């Protein structure tokens, strides 16, 4: 699952929280990236930081909701791409980590 934030600190705060809450097994933060967007009837430009979160299908919806709660924007990007293939041990780690008791 991925989201973008206006600052690196915002991305780190989301990552730390959802990993600590076991909604994601891990996170990777990249940026800044130049961004061009249409928002509130205007063309805008800025910088964004991307947080990529490793989660399971079991935790996906709860993670998406939590990102929205933690995010500074009213309508943040929250998207996901299914993993077509991974090693069994990697998939088991993600599942085990995101379904552990909190």
For 48-77, how does the pLDDT look when each residue is reduced to its tens digit (9 = 90+)?
Answer: 999 999 999 999 999 999 999 999 999 999
Domains of the chain: 2-98 (3.30.70.120)
Distance CA 8, CA 11 (A): 5
Distance CA 7, CA 83 (A): 27
Q: Two tokens at 4?
A: 């973008």
- Name the one residue in this structure whose structure tokens are 């947080």: 51
Predicted TM-score (pTM) of the model is: 0.93
Q: Which of 27, 25, 22, 23 is nearest to 11 (CA)?
A: 27
- At 7, is the secondary structure helix, strand, or coil? coil
- DSSP assigned state of 80: -
- Residues 10-44 pLDDT 10s: 999 999 999 999 999 999 999 999 999 998 999 99
């Amino acid at each position: 699952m991925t989201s973008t934030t206006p600052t690196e600190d915002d991305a780190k705060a989301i990552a730390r929280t959802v990993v600590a809450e076991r909604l994601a097994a891990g996170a990777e933060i990249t940026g800044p990236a130049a961004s061009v967007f249409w928002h509130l009837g205007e063309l805008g430009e800025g910088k964004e930081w991307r947080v990529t979160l490793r989660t399971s299908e079991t935790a996906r919806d709860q993670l998406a909701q939590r990102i929205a709660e933690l995010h500074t924007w009213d309508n943040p990007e929250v998207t996901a791409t299914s993993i077509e293939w991974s090693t069994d041990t990697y998939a088991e780690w993600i599942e085990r980590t995101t379904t552990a008791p909190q």
